[in-house]
Structure 1
Amino acid sequence: MTDRKHLKRRVRERMARTGESYTTALRHVLAARDAGDTAHDTAHDTAHDTAHDTAHDTAHDTVPSRQDPPGGHHEASLLHRLLPAHSEAMLAGLGGGIGFMYAVFEYKGHHPILTIVAQAHPDPVIPKALGRAGVPHEVRQTGSARVAERGLRETAAAGRAAICRVSRFSLPWRPGHPFPDPLEVVVTGVDGDRVSVLDTRAEPERLPLEEFMVAWSALKKSRHHLISITGTAGADPAKAVREAIAETAARLTGPVLGTSFDVNFGLSGMNRLAGQLGDPAGRTGWRRRFADPRAFFGAMTRLHECLETEYTAPGATRPLYARFLEEAAGLLGGTACGQAAGLYREAGGLWSRIAALAAEPFPRYRELAEEKAELLLTEGAAAADRLREIAAADAYEGPLGENDRTGLLAELADLAARAVRTEEEAVAALLRV
């Protein structure tokens, strides 16, 4: 408990100094602690941050430093551990980079359910990144658990890691909803009836093979999906980067699925979000759609999760994508990549401000979310019992007043409109690359 209080204090100090989100500041502090460099954490990029903030408007108050910590993007971080010659940012960019899917699903007898996916979507990031980087790899998939286990053991015996697509909530340290939700993890070894699994922590989790097989067998469409890397990258880096940027820009401005649902993607989806946040009376406006106090609580906390932690990297993945564009500028030359990088840092700051503002009225939710992030990064499977308690906890603390809800939605709508304008400028820069 003393260690956790000390960790939280250092994270809070960093947040106050840099304006970072809790998750980003936590990763910085943990990275510095693991490196034994607390002095570096205290003074990290202070001069650079000051100059950078002075050069831009107040939207940059929440922009992380340029040396963002590793691990912010789940899939790219896993892949970076297997391909250390490629940065996490580069792998995220090659895997599709950013996206935006906004939708509110309504089911009879339930409050409306908000979903935002701010990273590339719907194509899985890891196969896309491997293919674009020209990394030779083998893909296996079978409906037979016996055949799948044999393939897993063969992969481990050959000295190769296995990237496996599992059901997120079937992992003991990731309790949650009772439905299958895909998550990539890396099996680094099989020892008898136990497996070593890389997820969020720097160290692998040790898990009974039987429990892992339950999680690996739970996804009907991608049951026992396994990727193993068999060689080194062979693609032309400049060509791969240019193609990745072009695809990201196309998905932000045009069709993604080729169906009517495409209005929820890209700049169109962002505009819908901003408009519905600010709509005071329409059926799809948040004031009416989330009029029930518990529905409003669910929408605000979900907005925070989707922009900072779920299916994204902090700041709606924009700061990470800015790092990718800065690397791309060194390969492609010109000024468009650098211009887009600056704009995406600005947009990331605005999305993080939206996330923080949405969670601000709910201290119990914030407390539990912060504890969950700490445990996943520091203890993992050892904290499975406490993580189950957090997942089952009711963080609702009572309704906000009508005036408070109206004022909060107005602030969120204003920030979202500013974010959309910045995103439009950023996409225009991408199209010039």
Structure 2
Amino acid sequence: MTDRKHLKRRVRERMARTGESYTDALRHVLAARGAAPEGHPAGGHHDAALLHHLLPGHSEAMLAGLGGGIGFMYAVFEYKGHHPMMTIVAQAHPEPMIPAALARAGVAHEVRQTGSARVAERALRETLQAGRTAVCRVGRFSLPWRPGLPFPDPLEVAVVGLDGGDVLVRDARSEPERLPLGEFMTAWSALKKARHHLVSVTGPAGADPAEAVRKAIAATAAGMTGPVLGNAFDVNFGLSGMNRFAGQLGDARGRTGWARRFAHPEAFFTAMTRLHECLESEYTAPGATRPLYAAFLDEAGVLLGGTACARAAGLYREAGGLWSRIAARAAEPFPRYRELAEEKAELLLTEGAGAAGRLREIAATGAYEGPLGEDERSGLLAELAELAARAVRVEEEAAAALRAA
């Protein structure tokens, strides 16, 4: 407990000095202590950090960019008997990042998938016996140190070895977690459409670096400005989805406006805290992945020359700052939620499986705080809508610069 208080104090001091989010500052402090995951300490992008472990010659920022970097998907799902659930995916979506990054970098790799648990276990053992790491797509909430919602949300983890009856799983920490083989197979079998999905690197990068980043930038620009799925749901993607989000956030009267849609106090709390999570930690890196993508564009600019990458990088840094301000302001009225979110981030990065019990307690606690008065809710939504409108304007400029690059 004393060590946690000391860590929190160091993080707070860094936040005050740099203006970073809690997650960014935490990673920098842990890196200084030699306890952060490998990769860019402020990157905070799960898949890119895993790839950096496999391809240490590439930065986390470069790998994130090659995998598509940023995106924006906004949707509100409504089910009878439940409050609406809002989701934003701020990274490239829906194409999985790791296979995309490997393909663009020209890295020889093998993809295996089977519906049979027995065949899958054999493939896992063969991969490890060949001296390769197995990147496996598992059900996030089936992992004991990631308790949460009762549905099979996908998460990539790296299996780095077997020790007796345990699987050594690399997730958020720099050290692998131990998980009994049977429990790992349950998590690996949880995703119907991606059951037992395994990727392993079999050779070095072979693509021309300049051509690889050029293709990656083109794909990201296309995803931000044009159709992604080719159906009616595309209005929720890219700049279109971003404008939709900003408009509904500031709509005080319409049926789909947040003032009406999240009028119930618990629904409003869930929307605000979910907004914080989606812009800082869930399916993203801090600042809606924009600061990390700006670092990729810095590297890309060296390869491609010209000034377009530098201009886009500056704009995405500005946008990332605005998204982090939105996230922080949304969570500001809820100190208990912030306290638990910070503790969860600390435990995942420092203790992992060793803190599974406490992480389950946090997941089961529920941090509902409220209710905020109607005037308080209206004022908060107006502030967030104004910040979101500013972010959209910067993002539109950034997308234009990206196309030029």
TM-score where L is the length of structure 1:
0.92
Percent same amino acid among aligned pairs?
82
Alignment of 1:346-357 (within 5 A): 346-357=318-329
Q: For 1:23-42, list aligned pairs within 5 A.
A: 23-34=23-34
1:162–1:228 contact (8 Å) kept in structure 2: yes
Match of 2:199?
227
Gaps of 5+ in 2: none
Deviations 1:349-394 (A, max 9, x none): 0000000000000011000000000000000000000000000012
Query: Is 2:297 the partner of 1:325?
Result: yes
The 3-state SS of whatever aligns with 1:136 is strand
Residues 134-153 of structure 1 correspond to what in structure 2 (within 5 A)? 134-153=106-125
Question: What pairs up with 1:267-346 in 2 under 5 angstroms?
Answer: 267-346=239-318
Structure 2 match to 1:419: 391
Residues 277 and 413, structure 1, Cα contact 8 Å, conserved in 2? yes
Q: Which runs of 5+ in 1 are unaligned?
A: 37-66
* Offset at residue 190 of structure 1 (A): 1.2
1:249 aligned to 2:221? yes
User: What is the deviation of 1:191?
Assistant: 2.1
Q: CA deviation at 1:33?
A: 1.1
CA distance, structure 2, for counterparts of residue 82 and residue 244 of structure 1? 20
Deviations 1:253-298 (CA, angstroms, capped at 9, x unpaired): 0000000110000001111111111111001110011000000000
2:43, 2:292 within 8 Å by CA — same for their partners in 1? no
TM value normalised by structure 2: 0.98
Give secondary structure in 2 for the equivalent of 1:287.
helix
1:176 matched to 2:148:
yes
Write the deviation string for residues 296-343 of structure 1: whole angstroms up to 9, x where unpaired.
000000000000000000000000000000000000000000000000
Distance verdict in 2 for CA 1:373–1:97, change over 3 Å: same
Further displaced range: 67-76 or 366-375: 67-76
Equivalent residues of 1:102, 1:264 under 8 A apart: yes
| Distance in 2, Cα, partners of 1:189 & 1:363 | 40
| Residues 90-99 or 186-195, more deviating | 186-195
Report if aligned partners of 2:287, 2:323 keep a CA contact under 8 Å in 1: yes
Number of equivalenced pairs: 403
- Could you tell me which residue of structure 2 aligns to residue 120 of structure 1? 92
The residue number in structure 2 matching 1:132 is 104
Paired amino acid for 2:403:
L
Match of 1:50 in 2: none
What are the within-5 Å matches in structure 2 for residues 44-123 of structure 1? 69=41, 72-123=44-95
Contact conserved, 1:70 with 1:77, CA < 8 A, in 2?
A: no
Q: Residue 71 of structure 1: CA displacement?
A: 5.2
Residue of structure 2 aligned with 1:363, choices 335, 340, 353: 335
Q: Deviation of residue 68 (structure 1)?
A: 5.8
Residues 35, 106 of structure 1: alpha-carbon distance in 2 compared, 3 angstrom cutoff: closer
Q: Secondary structure at the match of 2:175?
A: coil
* Counterpart Cα distance in 2 of 1:137 and 1:369: 36
Structure 1 partner of 2:133:
161
CA deviation map 1:152-176 (0-9, x unaligned): 1111111110000000000000000
Q: How does 1:362-401 map to 2 (within 5 A)?
A: 362-401=334-373
8 Å CA contact 1:245, 1:430 repeated in 2? yes
* Alignment pair present for 1:14 and 2:22: no
- Using the alignment, how far apart are the partners of 1:20 and 1:171 within structure 2? 29
Q: CA RMSD in A?
A: 1.1
Deviations 1:368-423 (A, max 9, x none): 00000000000000000000000001211220011110100000000000000000
CA distance in 2: counterparts of 1:125 and 1:70, whole angstroms: 19
Note closer, same or farther for the CA distance 1:320–1:185 as it changes in structure 2 (3 Å cut).
Answer: same
| Matched residue type, 1:410 | A
State the secondary structure of the residue aligned to 1:384.
helix
CA deviation string 1:33-83 (max 9, x = no partner) = 1179xxxxxxxxxxxxxxxxxxxxxxxxxxxxxx96255000000000110
